[in-house]
Amino acid sequence: MIGAQDNALSDRVMQAVRAALAPALPFPASDALGSLPADGKSHSPWMVRPIQPGERTLEILANPLNEEHQRRAAKAMAQIEQSIEAAQRRAEVQYERAVAEAKRTGRSQDVDGVTLSDEGLAGARIDAESHVTIEVLFNQPSYRLEIASSVEPAASRQASIAGASVLAVPSNVFRDEKEFERFCEAETVVVLGRVTAPDVRRRRDDLYEVTAAGTPSENGTAISSIVIRMRGNDALMADLLQKGNWASLLELLK
């Protein structure tokens, strides 16, 4: 019975978030997998994958039938192919050197192959620009998010929400612990309800930790706090911040 109650509350929160964001999402629904528009013919720039029972994630996806999206994808694919060709050339040079060294010294050497990371930043960038994933957390005694980035999360300059804290990270490139270049997609975190102000701490050069403590409601309200984490297309997230009916969610928390 407790599980059923939890699921019902989760579904209630997700539907409330979906309704609050509706003014910024005048787009058709996708099929269940998020592959195509549900009607199979819409050319809208975006589509919204239907929320399944028990899910706490809302996904807005670029419509593959949209001509502008097709042009961006084709351009990114050309850049990806160039990156892979360059990686293949590097691997060939490294192999030839390894063979020569093995003949000279009798010792073999490891040779790097071509991996998915060799798609370069273009692949990660087109993926980030082609979606917004919205993760919804609520009623937690503490919230903790890790963000791999070269830019510290800070108060959003795009929009402010009365009664809420909004942190943002622009898309950026950073080097991980192995000195590989990585792409950080844009991210926005909205903190609502009975929650302490988010605390941001740098854990290492490429990693930040955001924490906040939740407080149970004193008047017995079923939902005391909500944290919404959005990642992906920066322009669409700006629309969500500016056009969303955030007051409806704050009302839910009273």
Average pLDDT over residues 187-208: 94
> How high is the pLDDT of residue 200?
97
- Shared-domain flag, residues 179 and 99: no
First to last CA, the chain: 25
- Mean pLDDT, residues 228-238 taken together: 96
Q: Which amino acid is at 42?
A: S
* One domain, residues 166 and 90: no
Please check whether residue 187 is in contact with residue 153, taking contact to mean a CB–CB distance below 8 angstroms. yes
Q: Is residue 124 in a domain?
A: no
Q: Is the pLDDT of residue 18 over 50?
A: yes
Residues 185, 77 within the same domain: no
The answer for residues whose C-beta is within 8 angstroms of residue 187's C-beta and 6 or more apart is: 147, 149, 153, 168, 169, 229, 230, 231
Asked if the structure places residue 200 within a domain, the reply is: yes
Is residue 125 one of the residues assigned to a domain? no
Domain assignment present for residue 216? The answer is yes
pLDDT band at 226 (very low <50, low <70, confident <90, very high): very high
* Residues contacting residue 142 through CB under 8 Å, at least 6 positions apart: 211, 212, 213, 214
pLDDT at 103 over 70: no
What is the reported pTM? 0.82
Of 87, 119, 151, the position where a domain reaches its end is 119
Range scoring the smallest mean pLDDT among 52-66, 101-115, 141-155: 101-115
The domain of 102 spans 71-119
Total number of domains in the chain = 2
> For residue 193, what pLDDT is reported?
93
